[in-house]
Structure 1
Amino acid sequence: MSRRYNSAIIYIILFAMIIQLFPQSSFAQEESGQEEIEEVVLFAKQPNEEIELFEDGKSDKVLVSIPDDTTVELIETEDQVSFVRYLQDSEGRTEWSGYVNILHIIPSDDAEEFRKLRLKPGFDIEKYQAEKMEEDKESNNNDLETKKQESNDKTIEITLNPKTNEPEEQPEKNSQKLIAPKAFSVTSESEVLLRGIALRDETKVYDEDRYTILGTYKKGYILEFHDIDKDWYMTAVPINGKTGFLSKSDVETAVTPQKSQKGVAVKSPVRAYSTASIASKVMKTYEYGTILDYKTFTKGWHEVTVQVNGKAQNGYIQAADIGKLETKLKGYALADPAYVYEQGDRKSTKLKTYKKGSILQFRAHDASWFQIDVAVKGKNQIGYIHKKDLTDKPPLLTGYALKDSTYVFGSRSKKGSKLKTYKKGSILKYRPYDSNWYTATVKVNGKSKTGYIHKNDVSDKPPLLTGYALKDSTYVFGSMSKSGSKLKTYKKGQSLKYRPYNSNWYTATVKVSGKSRKGYVHKKDVGDKPPVFTGFAKNASTYVYSKPDRKSSKLKTYKKGHQLKYYYHSSSWFKSTVVVKGKKRTGYIHVKDVGKATDISFVNPNRVYSYNHMAEDINKLQKAYPDLIKYKVVGKSEYGRNIYAVSLGKGKPTTFINGSHHAREWLTTNLNMYMVEQYAKAYQKNSKIKGYDVRKILNETTIWFIPMVNPDGVTLQQQGLKAFPKNTHASLIVMNNGSTNFKRWKANGKGVDLNRQYDAGWKTIKGNPGRPSYKNYKGKAPATASEVKAVLKLEAEIRPEIAVAYHSSGKILYWNYKQKSADYRRDHAYAKTIGKMTGYGLVYPGPNPSGGGFTDWFIQKRKRPGFTPEISRYVYETNPPLSEFNGAWRENQAVGLHVAQESAKLYMARNKKK
């Protein structure tokens, strides 16, 4: 300021606090971002879950899972992740460094409050962190405004004395006096050049006034300076031509004098940085156990010499990463096996052997070898183990479950929760943890979790397993290929011994021509439990014996066709559990006394086939062919007997076949039931009937049967009055024109002719007696008989493409009921084919057919083909004799398959039009 002025007013704005809130220009070379190390607490999204520690900020590789509510050291934060150091409690305490999502980080000061908040219903950690960020942002803005205001309030006016150029005290009440700084000279203070490191993220260098900031250094930057007083250092190098000053609280001074020492890297990797900050450039890395020459530098850092492009440069290593030479190091055997040698030479004597994954302690020796203490023949001895045979990270091991239920626990306690269970012999992956436990990563509800396996529960050698052949012919192959040579064959259910080999194969030792051979068994061909056989009694009396000997006592007897469960015992006997006098007993069944469904004939069509026979056989057939045959009750007869509907096949297009609308025509039930069984057998055997591919047809269609539409009438015709309540006898005799011989009975139990009950020309039916009778009475109204209602109910459900109603007798075929044009031509063609198959003559009715029959109604109502074959030679007012069955079967055995095949074609054609 010019001396011509008596006084000058200088407004000095004290903005030190404000300027700290904004980025300062920096003359340090390294990138920013490293925060001062502090302790924080990691919390999972939900209590008791775990936090994954990743290898780096962008990797999916998980180093370890950290328990909920764990304190760690926060080293630095970048983007959405933070670099932390975690000390895992185990033998020797394992140190992990890696990255976690910042979502999980809670400052220590806020941890207690967070523990309480997270217990409240509906608490969301993501919402909590978002709200905290908003609060911090608002708080920072408020602090900024406050500091600006304080700066404005501290704007003071100083008048300088024109003679002394020193400030004079002003009279204003609120004015403040600023003391001008003294001038310093290096010669007047210590001339010793000191070194140290910047401690703050932005370590400020001030001008002489101690307020003006000349620049900043990044944390860890290596500084040179002089000591000038108890609070300040003066920089050795001018800043923009000015002398700079550093607050002693912002700097850590290097030790003097520095000492040259040797140490060993106690983590992997140990990094040498360009400055004393892990945010700076990594100049070199050292493996675990590397012997290092270094100089002491500060409390937290050592100085090393690093060669970069042939030039020696100073690098800096964290002091915690280097231990004394005699430090006991912990590691794991990596080689399998890992040898301890007498000398540091692989050609020297081997003193001891360790399995891969063994936890070892050792000391640094030289660039290639570690020293290790071992006991040889009871004497302690120093041995040497090569560095390539060890690792500081627990290696991934492959082993085998030893117990029938081998558990992965949620903690290192066999009383803890079980995360997963493995069968004996299962191939497992795990890592060594301590002397008793391995760690394993398993999936629980789709999430990876770290669990623990006890060392006694697994082995590195595959255990010998006992299993059972699951296929009829289970092979031991000469190689791991099902197309390879077969060394041995086992029958289904036979036991065999083998060991786990890989994910698809077991190994087994078998005798071939008297010599032991190693073979392979596919895992899908064997199981750890004996397979249960389902078979059927073949004999009229099939016995379960007390011993595998036909001369032993009989524990139980089963009728032919009874379904049985049993296990393999030997080539001649099966083993079964039966209940005798309320107690379970093990019994034996001879292999010749039981068989598959296809070995048994359930339906005997060459007998007077009753309602009860039919009901029993339907049940047996469904059990024998559960994937192919289903049945249900679609209604009740007038006297409460079930009207059964049976489905055969797996396709959408349907065909409907029925029998025994008329009581005395029950031979049609024999035909229906035999057709069901023979078609099912052919399907199972993949055989053909009269050239028709049964399996193909039944895979593409479904045939529905009501084998006995009129169970009351059939029962009365076969058994007479004894099968009905006494109070009905009189009325039944009246309906039978006074006779007690019901062999001519045609109607249902109420005297209604069911094939005159359908609403097709019902009003004009001829020959109606006008009252209930053994034949021809059409009822008071169409579709009023309960049996007819059941038939119509099923028809409406399945909507068949073609219907066939079997009757007897006469060997003729009804096919026409008032069809016209195209429908007539279509149905006539079908009828001629069926006529040719059966040898039955086609009936061409006149212009006014009687009507009332099921196929009359079906043809008229649905406009679809319907056929009524009359089986057997003509008989008058009685049932056809059983001798007619074989001929009827020969004539009709392929009819069901033919109409099913044509139904599929009609179904496809109609759906194409849609």
Structure 2
Amino acid sequence: MKLSIYAMLFALFIQLFPQNIVAESLEETDNEQQEVFLFAETADETIDLYEDLGEKNVLVTIPDDTKVELIETLEDDFTLVKYIEISNEKDSETQEIIWTGYVLSDYVINSEEAEKIREDRHEAELNKDYSEETQSAGNETVEEKTSKEKVVDLQKNQQSNVDDQQNQQVQEEVGKVPDEEQESSSSPQLPKESPVIKGVAIKQPTPIYADTNVNSSVLKTYKQGHILSFRALDANWYIANVYVNDEKLTGYINKDDVDLLIDSKRIEGYAVKQIVSVYATPSQSAKSIKSYKIGQALVYRSFSSEWHEATVYVNGKKQQGYIHAKDVSKTAPSLSGVSINLTTVYSNASTSSKKLKTYKQGRILKYKSYTSSWHVVTVIINGKKQTGYIKTSDVGDLNATLKGYALIDQTNIYSKTSKSSSKLKTYKKGHLLQYKYYNSNWFKATVYINGKAKTGYINAKDVSINPPLLKGYAIANPTIVYSKTSKSSAKVKSYKLGSALQYRPYDKNWYIVTVYVNGKKQTGYIHVKDVGDKKASKPTGNTNIVNPLKVYSYSNMINDIKKLQKAYPDLITYKVIGKSEYGRNIYAVSIGNGKPTTFINGAHHAREWITTNLNMYMLEQYAKAYYKKQKIQGYNVKSILNSTTIWFVPMVNPDGVTLQQQGLKAFPKSDHASLIKMNEGSKDFKRWKANAKGIDLNRQYDAGWKTIHSSPKAPSYKNFKGYSPASAAEVKAILKFDKEIDPEIAVAYHSSGKLLYWNYKQDAARYKRDHVYANVIGKMTGYALMYPGPNPSGGGYTDWFIQARKRPGFTPEIATYVYESSPPLSEFNGAWRENQAVGLYVAQESVKLYAARKK
């Protein structure tokens, strides 16, 4: 009757809603069906099913451990579920009542977690039952004990690994043996006082049989290493309950298939295999979570006859693992190794104890593990055996890599263990080498000959772990001794070019040196590139390093800068002043020895890289003329460069130049699409003017930036001024460097039109002064002077320099105008003739301006 009433109410309720919405809702519900279980705090309690989220109206109370259908998990700690209540009232048919409502999410448990809850509860019940049985054993008859005895099920107190062939959800619990009247006469009976036993599954897999016969059917299997709980049945079998598809079954385990757990006791032992693994579960097929080398001192606890339990740390987190009993021993194994350092034998396991003996690198030693930091060794002192201790860090296995320094000027790697054999390779004194033990007189090393690895041999007397004393000369001007292994650290002392120095190797980039400062000894560091084996010869000026008559790349420029500095170390220096948007170094190069500075730069625009050729060629020609004591167009080069310093940044825009010259291949593939888009769909970048992010660097400076004419609204191959001034990495580097060197005059070379820009909103006095300089440069070059219009565009480097610094700035355009392309290299010779003295003239005038400013 109740069923029909509920059906009628449900039908009326459905009619209140549009049918298409109902169908949609039902479809969604079907798609999201998930069976879960409701668990109360204890098995005796129930769970309230609420009508709404207000927790006011309880529709029904649901028994503990009940399966329901999950409809939706809500954010406010509630879950919407469907519960089917089975009504079986007296004198009435079985009825199903469907309830839909809300329960607290804390009570909603998935199938896997439900198993664990049941296991925990049943194990607690088992222990309680066993305790009660033990206490009442003297008062009960054998029949009572037999009928009341309980069977412990297989516990998953660690993570259960159910056999892969049985994918159904299974549940295990402690259960009772069925009453005698329900059992067959052949069913095995559990001994009365049988205690709970635990053991490790040692077969792969370990079966649970339906009867005490290995030929009987298998109810269930467990992976090797699984921890099982059970009770003894007889001499050959254990008994347990298992759950398969929610049905409790009695099963049997053969005693040969499990390894019983034993009392846990702390053990101190040693690894006795070459590699001893700590496994995630007590199974050698389990994952190894950590490993130790032979001889390592270990602490662990007894677990079973075949396994020990250990606590290890993996990535800083404590983790439980298992070590096979055969892999460790209480007795330390005898070990052999090679001394990788100067190895001292101490009287006790402490470096402050007496030193008994010392071994050189490469000696074969025998010892036993003592602790994680020490080995124990027997040595002979004055004919008597004595126990000593060596640090574990001083020895390694026979295949350990050793390190040492070449001791002689020509340290050879031989093809055989003979100095009369052929030489594979030679190293300078002080070179750090790597090698391995071969015998007491020779080490073996791998060297590469024409790209192929070959085994060679080093005489043990030719290398040492102690860095040798080296002699050399200062080749940097000056050569600085730093307080740390960093050129940004404090300067302890400096030496002139050619000074004789002594130092020792420290690492691949630095030497360590002892110097005296104000009579006090101090340790410092010299960069390896600042000293050399030979005293630097005085430059003659006979160099031809820069070739300006070619497409001059970024890498060409870097190589030539380094060659020029090496050729003229007392006149030319260089430094990296920043990085481009794509991380390329921006180089600045100086020539001269005076305090007043002049700043010359080129290649703000990518397609105008011919100005880099001019910058670099000017730099070399000035250096050559300095040492040859020559004049250039009447200017005394040596005199000018002794009284001033000219700084060049030959390529302000290395990304843009590289893109213009090499195209997309020089840039990440992920950026190709955006570069092509900025280039208006073209893959030909010969017209590219901006940096590689589409910003015109000579429209980035904060001088009339807001009123710049004709700027695209987005990054482009030309003319986009950026979203804010001085936002491009290259411009930031130039502004920072400009502030650092504080130049009196600036020249920014460009390449289009043979014109000279020289003014930007100066006052009358500065306009008059700068006009004089411009006239001189105009006569030198033959370039037409550009006079101010009513609304100059601005944004250029010299615009900013003139306005912000109130000092002279000039922008020569050195080539005949070409439309959206690089000027042909045939323009260079004329550009050089016209500009060869410009750098010297502005440097000369910088000296005068500096002197006037310092009055």
Which category of TM-score, normalised to the shorter sequence, fits these structures?
Answer: 0.3 to 0.5
TM-score of the aligned structures, taking structure 1 as reference length: 0.35
TM-score of the aligned structures, taking structure 2 as reference length: 0.37
Report the structure number with the largest CA radius of gyration: 1
